[in-house]
Amino acid sequence: MSSPANDPQLNSEPEPKFSVRSLWKIFGKNADGIIGGEYERQDRDTVREATGCTVAVRDVSFDVLPGEIFVVMGLSGSGKSTLIRCLTRLIEPTAGSVVLDGTDIRECSPQELRELRRHKAAMVFQHFGLLPNRKIIDNVAYGLEVRGQGRAERHARAREMIEMVGLAGYEDSKPGQLSGGMQQRVGLARALAVDPEVLLFDEPFSALDPLIRRDMQQEVLRLQRELRKTAVFITHDLSEALKLGDRIAIMRDGELVQVGTAEELVGRPADDYVRDFVADVARTDVLTVRWLMRDPREGEPLDGPTAEPRTVVREIVPLLAEGTAPVRVMDGDRLLGVVGRTEVLRIIAEDQSDDGKLGTGPQPLADGAEA
């Protein structure tokens, strides 16, 4: 189901859009005293008991590249919402730096910050945050309104966005008259209306039914591909993460445990927490032949079928079934390596053993472990 991530890091390293360094957010009184103090390295519960402060985000660093969808996952309470709010200082970070396009957001004056929020980065909220007294169209136009755009102009734009999220005809309704999923789409339209360079999504699709959710995911992918929007995307849904995420960050108790492509998380989980997170994923659907390939062995036949480096393992299973020669991984005319039956069987076996652990029993090969 998921296509392999097109890893932007493969291309020549561009300037990051967001560059987050040693970001901390601690809630509570005298939070400042904790960093650099005796409790800095203590775990969350210890700190809370000793000081009454909650370490919501702990020493987090990562880069988001232009045009990338950067997904953040983690258990409830792991600090995802706090982290994403720190990116535009909706929550004031306790320490660290957030650099957007070369400017440190923490140094911004209130005016600069406002300009940035008006033009550069817009957010879609977990709980929508619509204004119940305004019509849908005025909710969507809100960002343009505070920017000082004229009524006719902003309504035209808002109408366009409402249409795009599939709510045409509801312009004059009030949010209270819409279902949760519809309200969530209004939130999306509102963020898109200001045409920001960066979109910040805090579980934006959690209230949508599967069909509309898929449409909206497509929309996000389209925005990224066609308009080169950068996005930070929080989700609880692993399949959503795999589908959208160029890279995925896993958070636990405020810390980033691992950041990487789906393949890296699945293929080389940093610890058991990450392993648990990705346990349900079929490795054959995520791992690519490039990840699996090895150099050809002495005397191995090199006349087998060929595959692009980004082909996922599942797609070469039928090829291997046809003959005994390993699949050649080719970048154009160049031979990068080969993948043989053993490697593929190992991956399949791993998937199966995960499923065995879950008690669902062995699965037919062709279906992988997707059920």
Partner 1 sequence: MATETTPRTAAGPDGGQDGLLHRTWIRVAAVFAVLIAGYGLLRGQMPFPDSLDVGLGALFDDVYAWIVENRNTSPLFLYGFNYASVGLGSAVILINQGLTLLTPLGVIVLGTFAAWRVAGAKVAAFTLATFAVFGLLGLWDQAMTTLSLIITSVLLALLIGIPLGIVAGRRPGFERALRPVLDFMQIMPAFAYLMPMLLLFGIGNPAAAVATTVYAIPPAVRITALAIRGVDKGALEAAESLGSTRRQILAKVQLPLAKRTIMLGVNQTIMLAVSMVVIASVIGAGGLGDAIYQALNKVDVGRAFEAGLAIVLMAIALDRITAAAGDEARGPHVPPALRRPLLIGGLLATAAAVVVGRLAGLADWPREVRISISDWVNAANTAVQDVFGGFTAWLAEATLNLLLDPLRSVLTDSPWWLVVLAAAALGLALGGWRIALVGGVSILACGLLGAWEESMDTLSQVVVAALATVVVGFAIGVLASRSDRLAAVLRPILDAMQTLPPFVYLIPAVALFGIGRIPALAAAVVYALPPVIRLVNDGIRGVSANTVEAAESLGSTRRQMLLKVQLPLARHSLLLAVNQGIMMVLAMVVIGALVGAGALGYGVVFGMAQNQLGLGMTSGLAIVCLGLFLDRLTQSAAR
Instruction: Say how many Å lie between the first and final Cα of the chain, rounded.
Output: 12
- Please choose which of ligand ATP, partner 1, Mg ion, none residue 125 contacts, taking the beta carbon within 5 to 8 angstroms, the exact cut-off set by kind: partner 1
Q: Please identify, using beta-carbon distances, which residue of 31 and 121 lies nearer to partner 1.
A: 121
Q: Please identify, using beta-carbon distances, which residue of 148 and 361 lies nearer to partner 1.
A: 148
Residue 143 interacts with partner 1 (CB under 8 A)? Answer: yes
Q: Please identify, using beta-carbon distances, which residue of 106 and 127 lies nearer to Mg ion.
A: 127
- Please choose which of partner 1, ligand ATP, Mg ion, none residue 74 contacts, taking the beta carbon within 5 to 8 angstroms, the exact cut-off set by kind: ligand ATP
Least distance from C-beta 331 to partner 1, angstroms? Answer: 43
- Please choose which of Mg ion, ligand ATP, partner 1, none residue 21 contacts, taking the beta carbon within 5 to 8 angstroms, the exact cut-off set by kind: none
Residues between 99 and 118 that touch partner 1 (CB under 8 A): 113-118
Contacts of 299 (CB under 8 A, 6+ apart): none
- Please choose which of partner 1, Mg ion, ligand ATP, none residue 168 contacts, taking the beta carbon within 5 to 8 angstroms, the exact cut-off set by kind: none
- Tell me which of 48, 106, 127, 135 binds partner 1, using CB under 8 A: 127
> Quick one: which segment of 84-92, 223-231, 259-267, 304-312 binds partner 1 (CB under 8 A)?
84-92
DSSP string, 164-199: HTT-TT-TTS-GGGS-HHHHHHHHHHHHHHT--SEE
C-alpha count within 13 angstroms, C-beta hemisphere, residue 261: 20
Least distance from C-beta 88 to partner 1, angstroms? Answer: 7
- Separate counts of helices (H) and strands (E) for the chain: 15, 13
Residue 28's CB is within 10 A of a number of other CB atoms, namely: 15
Residues that bind ligand ATP (CB under 6 A): 27, 54, 56, 74, 76-82
Q: Please identify, using beta-carbon distances, which residue of 146 and 302 lies nearer to partner 1.
A: 146
- Please choose which of Mg ion, ligand ATP, partner 1, none residue 33 contacts, taking the beta carbon within 5 to 8 angstroms, the exact cut-off set by kind: none
Least distance from C-beta 193 to ligand ATP, angstroms? Answer: 25
Site for partner 1 (CB under 8 A): how many residues?
Answer: 29
Contacts of 156 (CB under 8 A, 6+ apart): none
Q: Provide the strand spans (E) within 218-344.
A: 230-234, 247-252, 255-260, 306-307, 327-331, 334-339
Q: Please identify, using beta-carbon distances, which residue of 47 and 56 lies nearer to ligand ATP.
A: 56
How far apart (Å, rounded) are the C-alpha atoms in residues 122 and 33? Answer: 32
- Please choose which of partner 1, Mg ion, ligand ATP, none residue 219 contacts, taking the beta carbon within 5 to 8 angstroms, the exact cut-off set by kind: none
Roughly what angle, to the nearest 10 degrees, separates helices 151-164 and 180-193? 130
- To the nearest 5 percent, what fractions of the chain are helix, strand and coil? 40, 20, 40
Q: Please identify, using beta-carbon distances, which residue of 26 and 87 lies nearer to partner 1.
A: 87
- Please choose which of ligand ATP, partner 1, Mg ion, none residue 204 contacts, taking the beta carbon within 5 to 8 angstroms, the exact cut-off set by kind: none
Least distance from C-beta 371 to partner 1, angstroms? Answer: 37
Ramachandran category for residue 253: left, alpha or beta (phi over 0 → left; psi -120 to 50 → alpha): left
Phi, psi of 252 (to 5 degrees): -145, 125
- Tell me which of 28, 77, 129, 309 binds partner 1, using CB under 8 A: 129
Q: How far is CA 155 from its chain centroid? A: 31
Contacts of 269 (CB under 8 A, 6+ apart): 258, 275, 277, 278
Residue 135 interacts with partner 1 (CB under 8 A)? Answer: no
Residues between 227 and 286 that touch partner 1 (CB under 8 A): none
Residues between 79 and 108 that touch Mg ion (CB under 5 A): 81
54-64 and 306-307: which strand pairing? Answer: unpaired
* Dihedral sign from CA coordinates of 310, 313, 318, 324: positive
- Please choose which of Mg ion, partner 1, ligand ATP, none residue 365 contacts, taking the beta carbon within 5 to 8 angstroms, the exact cut-off set by kind: none
- The residue ranges that bind partner 1 (CB under 8 A) are 85, 88, 90, 113-119, 122-123, 125, 127-134, 142-143, 145-147, 187, 190, 194
